[in-house]
Amino acid sequence: MLFGKKPGYDPDYDLKLEESLAENKYPAEKMAAARAAEHTSLCAQVCTPEVWDKYKDVVSSGPAKWTLARAINTGVMYPDSFVGCHAGDRESYDDFKDFFYPVIEKYHTGFSMKEGSPPQGTPSERMDPARITVDLSDSAKGKIASTRIRIARNLSMFPLNPGGSRESREQVAGLMAKVYARIPADSDLAGEFFLHTDISEAKRQELIDDHFLFRGKDRMQAASGYHQHWPHGRGVYLNRAKTFINWVNEGDHLRIISMEMGGDVKAVFERLSAGAKVIEEGVKAITGIDEAFMMHPKFGAVTCCPSNIGTGMRGSVHIMVPKLIKTIGFEAIDRLCRDRNCQARGTTGEHSEVLDRIDVSNWRRIGLPEYELVEDMIRCANFLADEEDKL
């Protein structure tokens, strides 16, 4: 007898609204404290009482009927978040523009929503590995454990997941199952789609441990609504070599990922480019909708978190720099990366622990073609390898 518990149900995945936000009231004290703190989330910086008053009763014109209370819940509950806000549908970005535009401009330094334009050129041009003009140094190559490049994409016919339902998530997964079934069996991209509701806990953990799958149970993601209706509609597609992977409904509808051991960045980028094309064409063919991926005229790809908009691309290498970590520490390494348009993370995902290696990736996602973002990452990896060699 389950006593009303759904199979797989776990309260850690529930959406809990902060008390004031649950009553649609401005969390004045928390926001003031957050603004006064040394580390201030973009959400707290921008969502002043004036911005709140302007939008508190606004409902987005898209399918999510998104509200400002829902949009800022993560940042209010977790003042240590960096961005702390989420969109529930494409329309949210414009319907709450005095909130989202400044957040976008603060994250994507140098990008202006007034002047802005989406990435220029076709995706195949922008993701052409032949355009990458820098190489990893020999020293960097020797230190790189693995390379992974992903793009975040959402399907234009559904609300973004924070504003979605169990049904919309299952529809996304259902559509993607058809897209994957169309990939010819003799293609390198061919593989298998696993739904969380079908796989065992052991299998799920194995995929997480091998870096192939999202972890779930993230407090910030729970507060955004990413985790609602878990595990329904969640899944992962893996090609046979486990080098082309899609996450379905982690947060964004899709994370299209190319990864492999070692530092062959161009090969990884090339596979991503080919894979993204196959997915986009598959969605178009099945739905008959030409703009398969959700796009915004000003910035390009629409994602749940304003940090990912534009190209939605994060290209990373796991680089072994044990001496550097020991000598200057993670925070200092991250600052060095930020000076080079990159960031440092732990190697088991965002907010994870740092041991002997770090995840270095491009910080910028917008206003530049994808191949230039890959170049940022290569230059930063070369720099860190040199710093390690000096010690």
219 forms part of the interface with ligand ADP (CB under 6 A): no
* Nearer to Mg ion among residue 125 and residue 350 (C-beta): 350
Choose the contact partner of 153 out of Mg ion, ligand ADP, none; CB within 5 to 8 A by kind: none
Would you count residue 165 as binding ligand ADP (CB under 6 A)? no
Which positions from 337 through 366 interact with Mg ion, judged by CB under 5 A? 350
- Work out how close the CB of 246 gets to ligand ADP at its nearest, in angstroms, rounded to a whole number: 12
For residue 235, give both structure tokens.
């899944």
Q: Which of 283, 317, 373, 380 binds ligand ADP (CB under 6 A)?
A: 317
**Binding residue count for Mg ion, defined by CB under 5 A:** 1
Site for ligand ADP in 24-63 (CB under 6 A): none
Q: Which is nearer to Mg ion, 78 or 101 (CB)?
A: 78
Select from ligand ADP, Mg ion, none the partner in contact with residue 318, using the beta carbon and a kind-dependent cut-off of 5 to 8 Å.
Answer: ligand ADP
- Nearest residue (CB) to Mg ion, 65 versus 219: 219
Query: Closest approach of Cβ 314 to Mg ion, in Å?
Result: 8
Nearer to ligand ADP, 18 or 370 (CB): 370
* b/e per residue 186-216 (b: at least 16 CB within 10 A): eeebebebbbbeebeeeebeebbeebbbbeb
For position 90 contacting ligand ADP by CB under 6 A, the verdict is no
**Tokens matching residue 153:** 């994409």
Integer Cα distance of 255 and 44 in angstroms: 27
Stretch that binds ligand ADP, among 3-11, 140-148, 157-165, 370-378 (CB under 6 A): 140-148
Contact 252, 125 (CB under 8 A): no
Question: For the chain, how many helices (H) and strands (E)?
Answer: 15, 10
Contacts of 367 (CB under 8 A, 6+ apart): 108, 110, 111, 116, 119, 310
Two structure tokens written together for 50: 């004036």
Residue 365 phi, psi dihedral angles, 5° rounding: -135, 0
Under the criterion CB under 6 A, does residue 350 sit at the interface with ligand ADP? yes
For the chain, how far is it from start to end, CA to CA, in angstroms? 61
CB of 254 to Mg ion, least distance (A): 13
Closest separation in Å from C-beta 255 to ligand ADP: 6
**In the complex with ligand ADP, which residue's Cβ is closer, 71 or 305?**
305
Backbone φ and ψ of 340, nearest 5°: -115, 30
Work out whether 316 is an interface residue with ligand ADP (CB under 6 A).
yes
Contact status: 150 vs ligand ADP (CB under 6 A): yes
Token pair for 383: 């720099």
Minimum CB–partner distance for residue 210 and ligand ADP (Å): 8
Tell me the residue nearest to ligand ADP as measured from the CB: 146
Instruction: Identify residues 241-260 at the interface with ligand ADP (CB under 6 A).
Output: 255, 259
SS3 category, 101: helix
Interface stretch with ligand ADP, choices 25-33, 74-82, 313-321, 326-334 (CB under 6 A) = 313-321
Cβ-proximal residues to 303 (8 Å cutoff; 6+ apart), any chain: 87, 152, 153, 154, 160, 252, 309, 312
If the CB atoms of residues 94 and 350 are measured against ligand ADP, the closer one turns out to be: 350
Alpha helices in the chain (DSSP H): 19-22, 28-36, 42-46, 49-55, 68-77, 92-95, 97-107, 123-126, 138-143, 166-181, 201-209, 219-224, 265-287, 322-338, 370-390
Q: What is the DSSP-derived secondary structure letter of residue 104?
A: H
Helix (H, G, I), strand (E, B) or coil at 81: coil
> C-beta of 212: minimal distance to ligand ADP in Å?
8
**Tokens read off for 306:** 């304003």
Nearest residue relative to Mg ion (C-beta): 350
* 296: helix, strand or coil: strand
- Measured CA to CA, the distance from residue 77 to residue 372 in angstroms comes to 35
Find which of ligand ADP, Mg ion, none residue 121 binds, CB within 5 to 8 Å per kind.
none
345 binds, among ligand ADP, Mg ion, none (CB under 5 to 8 A by kind): ligand ADP
- Does the protein bind ligand ADP through residue 211 (CB under 6 A)? yes
Task: Write out the residues near Mg ion by the rule CB under 5 A.
Answer: 350
Task: Write out the residues near ligand ADP by the rule CB under 6 A.
Answer: 146-148, 150, 211, 255, 259, 314, 316-318, 345, 347-350, 359
